[in-house]
Amino acid sequence: MTPGKKIPIFVDGVVLNGPQTDVKAGEKFVEEACRLIMEEVVLKATDVNEKVCEWQPPEQLRQLLDLEMRDTGESQDKLLKLCQDVIHFSVKTNHPRFFNQLYAGLDYYSLAARIITEALNPSIYTYEVSPVFLLVEEAVLKKMIECVGWKEGDGIFNPGGSVSNMCAMNLARYRHCPDIKEKGLSGLPRLILFTSAECHYSMKKAASFLGIGTQNVYFVETDGRGKMIPEDLEKQIWQARQEGAVPFLVCATSGTTVLGAFDPLDEIAEVCERHGLWLHVDASWGGSALVSRKHRRLLHGIHRADSVAWNPHKMLMAGIQCSALLVKDKSDLLKKCYSAKATYLFQQDKFYDVSYDTGDKSIQCSRRPDAFKFWMTWKALGTSGLEERVNRAFALSRYLVDEIKKREGFKLLMEPEYTNVCFWYIPPSLREMEEGPEFWRKLSLRTVQFICRGFLLERNADSHFALRNWKTFPSVLA
């Protein structure tokens, strides 16, 4: 045998100590892909001359992309071409004219943090496998809890606001009837939760998923601005009790999806305290106003909530996804509710403080370090920089309102409370027509979907348009 030459180890026809991949080729591919991302995504992020989207219908796009997965691998050049095609035909959510959703823009610090976490590929369930990211999550949660106005609390990052809302609903039910964790639904009374008619659809999904049932979600009336009416909440609580049902939860909203409405939290908290109900606030969209001294008044009373959902990946641009569930309780209610005590993972006799093994507070096992990208942005900008980002979003929405008022053919639905600007575009053929049932019927038919100067507007259930914008500049809006 030649000195230094390895003896092949065969098991089931596989050479265990043979080459697994071409390391040099892989490193070169990553390097070239990063260059492509920098040139085609990052450097073009604020270029208004670029298209928001190179739109293609599904069947045509399927033909343009090589989606087939084959028995043999593709060449590096082909893979880079595929990367380029993916970028080319994808929606540029960092474009100044992207207005279709409640997130937009590119935060460079968050992007760098995401690249780091993708490269390290961590999972944050125990300190031993993810020491840095667990400490980062702890620091971010502590700061967010301070923003809510609590002296102490608990929390966990989840994959989106819908999951945070569902976890809060389950936590409220567990607090009301702890036996459900082991005995299940069979012995429970009919449980009722209350939320506004303008709430996020995740409330119904959560009720369905948790076995509560969508018929047991009572929708409270809202006023003309989309805010929950506390008097109707009180009325419906009494009604549920007269039906023999058991109320257990009220879900208020801070920043509704369409109108950007903020429910009156102080008044709702009074009702909840009178009836002994858990108060959850879905501040997935509106929670970012908490970092602004000027606008945090919109969430006045949020400190009285038992739990809060807040998505920094929306207005604060932390990158999808970044969603925290914050809980006022400090008695380990989260862990009691969700812990499965998996002894192969959460041993109690480790060589460090096992309270840092926070994964047992989550419904997930593998969990991404979503707090890290928000932490990096917060470190880079400071609280004052985040506040400036929020204040700019408000200022831009006010600017847009002024521009709408100047333009013929545009009708503002209402003065915005948040950064949601809701308006109608009136086609020339209807501008001389008197407003009435026939006018609104024709307007609804003609404006199911309309694209105006790069703004993607979408018709909502109330038959008006909602434009959400917080990452752009005046010349784009003018």
The domain spans of the chain are 22-98, 114-378, 384-453
* Burial status of residue 159 (CB atoms within 10 A of its CB: 0-12, 13-18, 19 or more): middle
User: What digits encode the pLDDT tens for the residues 243-272?
Assistant: 999 999 999 999 999 899 999 999 999 999
Higher pLDDT, 242 or 411: 242
Amino acid 445: pLDDT:
76
CB 269 within 8 A of CB 305: yes
Report how far residue 161's alpha carbon sits from residue 412's, in angstroms, rounded to the nearest whole number: 29
Q: Quick check: 377 and 106 in contact, CB under 8 A?
A: no
pTM (2 decimals)? Answer: 0.91
Span 61-80, average pLDDT: 94
pLDDT bucket at 466, cuts 50 / 70 / 90: very low
pLDDT at position 344 is 87
Query: H helices then E strands: how many in the chain?
Result: 14, 14
Q: What tokens appear for 296 in the block?
A: 């945090």
Residue 94 confidence (pLDDT) above 50 = yes
Please tell me what DSSP assigns to residue 6. Answer: P
Separation of CA 97 from chain center? 20
Q: For the segment 193-235, what is each residue's pLDDT rounded down to a tens digit?
A: 999 999 999 999 999 999 999 999 999 999 999 999 999 999 9
Long-range contacts of 97-101 (CB under 8 A, 24+ apart): 97/48, 97/52, 97/454, 97/455, 97/472, 97/476, 98/52, 98/456, 99/455, 99/456, 99/457, 99/467, 99/468, 99/469, 99/472, 100/456, 100/458, 100/468, 101/468
CA distances from 29 to 68, 75, 233 (A): 20, 10, 58
Nearest-10 crossing angle of helices 202-209, 161-176: 50
Task: Write the pLDDT tens digit of every residue in 386-438.
Answer: 999 999 999 988 998 999 999 998 888 889 999 988 888 888 888 889 889 99
Residue 292 contacts residue 260 (beta carbons within 8 Å): no
Q: Which of 328, 324, 262, 253 is nearest to 295 (CA)?
A: 262
For residue 348, cis peptide bond before it (omega within 30 degrees of 0): no
The DSSP-derived string for 300-316 is TTGGG-SEEEE-TTSTT
Distance (Å, whole) CA 263 – CA 317 = 24
Under 8 Å between Cβ of 323 and 159: yes
Q: Name the percent of the chain lying above pLDDT 70.
A: 92
Please report the DSSP string for 137-189 in residue order.
HHHHHHHHHHHHT-SS-EEEEESSHHHHHHHHHHHHHHHH-TTHHHH-STT--
d(CA 144, CA 323): 11
- What does each C-alpha distance from 156 to 192, 304, 325 come to in angstroms? 25, 19, 6
What is 375-388 written as a DSSP string? HHHHHHHHHHHHHH
DSSP 246: E
Q: How many CB atoms lie within 10 A of CB 264?
A: 16
Sole residue written with tokens 């005590």:
341
| pLDDT 10s digits, 16-64 | 887 778 889 999 999 999 999 999 999 988 888 889 899 999 999 999 9
- Compute how many other C-beta atoms are within 10 angstroms of the C-beta atom of residue 38: 11
What angle do the packed helices 76-89 and 23-37 form, to 10 degrees? 20
Indicate the average pLDDT of the chain: 90
Residue 461 scores a pLDDT above 90: no
How large is the average pLDDT for residues 138-152?
Answer: 97
Dihedral, CA atoms, 235, 239, 245, 251, nearest 10 degrees?
-20
- DSSP β-ladder status, 420-425 and 465-468: antiparallel
- Report the range of poorest mean pLDDT among 3-7, 135-139, 334-338, 430-434: 3-7
Pick the CATH number of 114-378 from 3.40.50.2300, 3.40.640.10, 3.90.45.10, 3.40.50.10680: 3.40.640.10
State how far the Cα of 366 lies from the Cα of 314, in Å rounded to an integer: 23
The pairing of beta strand 420-425 with beta strand 455-459: unpaired
